[in-house]
Amino acid sequence: MKNNTSTSQKIGWGVFTIGGLYMFGLGWLYSWQMVPAANQFGRDAYSGLLGFIWALSVPLGVFIVAIGAALIARVEHREFWLLILLVVLFAAWRIAHTTHHIIPVLFGIGGGLITLFFLGSTWHWARIRPTLTGAGKTGSDLRMVGFIFFVVAAWDLCGIFGIGNYVLRPELADKFSVPISSTINAASTVMVLLILGWGFTYLGQLMSHRAQAVDPQVVQVPQMAATD
């Protein structure tokens, strides 16, 4: 990043701040009020405009933050507009996608793809790590630990929705008398795993940035601002 802040970067900081406040303010803080109301009144608690804005706070907020970060990072025009296209396609999918039936093949193939992606990430880490030094190695290791927690969380989610707790098959949960305490324990475990996964991934990113900052051989390639 250049020492002087360009117009696009100033706009990026504004967009990033708006997205962050949207996610944190409505997505997290307001949820402390929304969840008890929803538990009491059901969908009526978030059927209005504010409820609609709240429901989009994370799905839309993450893209607002990403767009702001892209402007701050001065990404090339092509990557920037690909991100915008991704936002549009994602929004269209969220609006149009509705399904009222379980699609076993979706979960089956999805689980296989997650496993393959994890194996590929692990293989890449094993090949790249010997070429790293100091904080670079530490950052790589921390990200790898984060990936492990993410995979275990995905596996435990299968135990919540499918075999084990049968959240998506309540008739089977009744048939096998699955106690609610089992589902609560599994959900709590997944939340802890996700927190650890994101925590280690973020720490790894910080360490890798530190390694690049102190490495005199790091080559910085000048980039064209997305909108200057």
Q: What is the DSSP string of 59-118?
A: TTHHHHHHHHHHHHTT--HHHHHHHHHHHHHHHHHHHH----S--HHHHHHHHHHHHHHH
Tell me what the mean pLDDT of segment 137-147 comes to. 91
Task: Tell me which of 59-68, 101-110, 125-134 is least confident.
Answer: 101-110
Between 120-134, 141-155, 185-199, 213-227, the lowest mean confidence (pLDDT) is in 213-227
User: Which residue in 89, 80, 194, 77 sits closest to 147, CA to CA?
Assistant: 194
Confidence class of residue 215 from pLDDT cuts 50, 70 and 90?
A: low
CA distances from 154 to 112, 113, 142, 143, 205 (A): 11, 12, 19, 17, 22
pLDDT confidence of residue 28: 83
* Torsion sign over Cα 134, 135, 140, 144: positive
Q: Which residue has the higher pLDDT, 14 or 5?
A: 14
Calculate what percentage of the chain has a pLDDT beyond 70: 89
Mean pLDDT of the chain: 82
